[in-house]
């Protein structure tokens, strides 16, 4: 079976998981799949989009459906993009470069994790300007400053500060079977000490580098380092959305794929309140997206773009760049189909009137 044979993201996940089990230590699958605590949020993320039912309109001439949009001034062919996830080299030898190339070829964009296995410059080249850099802020600000400046020089279009991980969530699958990194896997943005197998057990070493004191005040420091647009990833309330707006940041609604605070609200529950509080700031979303209908619901709730976490990883494991390309293609095709069936021909026509909460 190849990615081309897969008819939907569930089949791509099955293929990606099978390939990963053949090629990598079983702890890698635990790492990719796992959530925090009892994994309630992880499970709820998958079903949460269905709480919104669709109110289709008829007789709308849907002979041509356009999914083009713009994020932070960058034109996208599709509102479906790639979220940051750590260590793509565990899934495929080309790692983040394969994901960046697939996203760029689709006219989309990828977000590169601080915990990448390829350098900022390599990814910048593969992405052709279609990428954002995700930052975990280090205690050692000079290390963070250098990374941000290198990302900007390599063509990153925005800085995404992850705000929901001042500490790593309690991921029990990883406590039972600690992540084993293959010899030679590099984490160029973390430093040479993390290339040994033990040093990343439970992500403890990385955790120890992170700045737990991170607060709204630090946004001023970031503003002094870069003039890139700033996106705060991990916002889940109207209160924090309002603060993000006051600080001039854009907003990424996310519960980190259920990997941080177990019991946290899901994106479809809170997207409406966040959008209302965001004013003129752009709002993005991730979590549990597996169907074009999920994307449609997110856009109707006011998100400007929808990001894929695990789905992109399964595509990568299933077939490298071709697997990620197939993931993006299938979801885009489903989005176009659902838009047509709802009587919509452009993203600007999607709004809350398309939705009704399921009883
Ligand atoms: C294996 C894995 C690694 C991740 N690494 C990062 C990361 O380095 N930085 C970050 O901000 N989010 C990270 N995330 C969270 C994703 O960006 C995203 O919020 C989440 O996966 C969305 O949920 P989904 O997997 O259901 O699509 C990671 C998620 C997974 C599954
Ligand atoms: C201090 C947070 C470390 C998390 C590393 C990568 C990540 O975000 C994940 O979900 O895994």
- Structure confidence by residue, pLDDT tens digits, 84-113: 999 999 999 999 999 999 999 999 999 999
Interface confidence: ipTM more than 0.85: yes
- The reply to whether ligand 2 has any atom less than 6 angstroms from the CB of 171 is no
What pLDDT is attached to residue 209?
Answer: 87
- Whether 320 maps to a domain, the answer reads yes
Residue 313 domain-assigned? Answer: yes
Contacts 24+ apart (CB under 8 A), 234-237: 234/162, 234/163, 234/164, 234/165, 234/260, 235/163, 235/274, 236/164, 236/264, 236/265, 236/267, 236/270, 236/274, 237/270, 237/273, 237/274
Tokens 């992109």 correspond to: 312
Non-local (6+) Cβ contacts of 52 within 8 A are 268, 297, 300, 301, 355, 356, 357, 358
Residue 113: which domain range? Answer: 3-53+69-339
The pLDDT value recorded for residue 198 is 47
CATH number of 46's domain: 3.20.20.70
The reply to whether 263 falls in a domain is yes
CB 154, CB 121: distance < 8 Å:
yes
| Position in ligand 1 atom list of the atom nearest CA 255 | 19
Q: What is the pLDDT of residue 77?
A: 98
Could you report the per-residue pLDDT of 342-357, keeping only the tens digit for each? 999 999 999 999 999 9
Q: Which of 88, 92, 250, 256 is catalytic?
A: 256
- 352 located within any domain: no
Q: Of ligand 2's atoms, which has the minimum distance to the CA of residue 169? A: 2
Whether 59 is covered by a domain: the verdict is no
Could you identify the residue written with the tokens 């309330």?
Answer: 237
Residue 354 lies in a domain: no
Residue 356 is assigned to a structural domain of this protein: no
25 counts as catalytic: no
The DSSP bridge pattern shows strands 110-112 and 131-135 to be parallel
Rounded distance from Cα 58 to ligand 2 centre (Å): 45
Total domains present in the chain: 1
Residue 166 CA to ligand 1 center (angstroms) comes to 15
Q: Which regions in the chain score pLDDT beneath 50?
A: 194-195, 197-199
Q: Tell me the per-residue pLDDT of 315-338, one tens digit each, with 9 for 90 and over.
A: 999 999 999 999 999 999 999 999
């Amino acid at each position: 079976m190849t990615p081309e044979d897969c008819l939907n993201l569930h089949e791509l996940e099955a293929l990606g998981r099978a390939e990963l089990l053949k090629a990598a230590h079983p702890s890698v699958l635990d790492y990719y799949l796992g959530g925090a605590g009892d994994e309630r949020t992880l499970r709820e993320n998958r079903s949460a989009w269905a709480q919104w039912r669709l109110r289709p309109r008829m007789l709308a001439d849907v002979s041509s459906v356009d999914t083009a949009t713009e994020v932070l001034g960058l034109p996208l062919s599709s509102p479906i993009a790639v979220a940051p996830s750590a260590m793509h080299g565990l899934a495929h030898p080309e790692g983040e470069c394969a994901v960046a190339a697939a996203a760029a070829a689709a006219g989309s964009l990828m977000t590169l994790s601080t915990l990448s296995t390829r350098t900022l410059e390599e990814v910048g080249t593969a992405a052709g300007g279609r990428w954002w850099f995700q930052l975990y802020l280090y205690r050692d600000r000079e290390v963070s400053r250098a990374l941000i400046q290198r990302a900007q020089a390599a063509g990153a279009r925005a800085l995404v500060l992850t705000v929901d991980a001042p500490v790593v969530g309690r991921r029990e699958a990883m406590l039972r079977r600690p992540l084993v990194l293959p010899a030679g896997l590099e984490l160029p943005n973390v430093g040479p000490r993390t290339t040994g197998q033990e040093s990343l057990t439970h992500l403890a070493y990385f955790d120890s580098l992170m700045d737990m004191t991170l607060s709204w005040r630090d946004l001023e420091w970031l503003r002094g380092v870069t003039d890139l647009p700033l996106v705060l990833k991990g916002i889940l309330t109207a209160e924090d959305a309002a603060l993000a707006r006051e600080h001039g940041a854009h907003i990424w609604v996310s519960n980190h794929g259920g990997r941080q605070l177990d019991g946290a609200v899901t994106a479809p529950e809170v997207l409406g309140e966040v959008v209302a509080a965001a004013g003129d700031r752009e709002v993005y979303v991730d979590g549990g997206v597996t169907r074009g209908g999920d994307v449609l619901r997110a856009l109707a709730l006011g998100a400007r773009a929808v990001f894929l976490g695990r789905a992109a990883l399964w595509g990568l494991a299933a077939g490298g760049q071709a697997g990620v390309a197939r993931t993006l293609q299938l979801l885009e095709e489903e989005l176009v189909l659902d838009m047509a069936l709802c009587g919509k021909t452009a993203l600007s026509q999607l709004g809350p009137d398309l939705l009704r909460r399921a009883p």
